[in-house]
Amino acid sequence: MNVTILAANGQIAHLVEERLLTEPTFKDIQLTLMLRHPERLSKLNDNPWVTLLDGDLTNPTDVIQATKDADLIRSAVVDHDQTNRPTKNIIAAAKLNGVERVVETSLLGLYNEVPGEFGDWNRDYGGTDRSTAGGVWFNLYPLRLPWLNDRPEVNYTLTHRHDQFVGVSGSRRSIADVVCRIIADPSLGANDSLGIGDPTTEGATRPVY
């Protein structure tokens, strides 16, 4: 199986990459890692399971090149571009290269599914109502992330598009775990929109670090 990770130098991307390269479940996976300045992952230069590419998500040619042999694309960043160039480039590249599995990253509140005081704060802090972004996030495995922390545990509740989001924060390790589970199990999250949150933070009015 060929997996392409775009923006491959992020903290969650590192956690996913480490697991894909060390756990027996993923022993047959070939990784293509696209990032700006790939020398930042030079420790993987001699790994026969890894191909490093210099690329920019806003450059469609780079994205097409990075995904040309992929069975699954993982975009490891939230698209904050005003015209959503990264997302559009990924979708176009997936269609061109025949990649059916795309794991995208979004944020809690995309569908106004976060209740109470924290939901109000989250919308105000974000500055926009993201409920209209659904037409942009056209992909098979969109993940809605909470406010992130670096706690060492893996602990989360998965919710679906029409569910109320559970929790306000979650660990990066938990997000990496969901990504790895999707890579291993194509049925998890397929044609869904998974919210990921630590249930122990439910009811908090601000992010829990």
Mean pLDDT computed over 107-124: 61
Structure pTM? Answer: 0.86
- Rounded CA-CA distance 47/184 in Å is 21
pLDDT at res. 67? 98
- Taking CA atoms, 83 is separated from 52, 79, 86, 88, 108, in Å, by 27, 9, 9, 9, 20
pLDDT tens-digit series, residues 138-159: 546 889 999 999 999 999 999 9
Mean pLDDT computed over 77-90: 88
pLDDT at res. 199? 98
Mean pLDDT computed over 54-74: 97
Residue 41, pLDDT > 50, answer yes
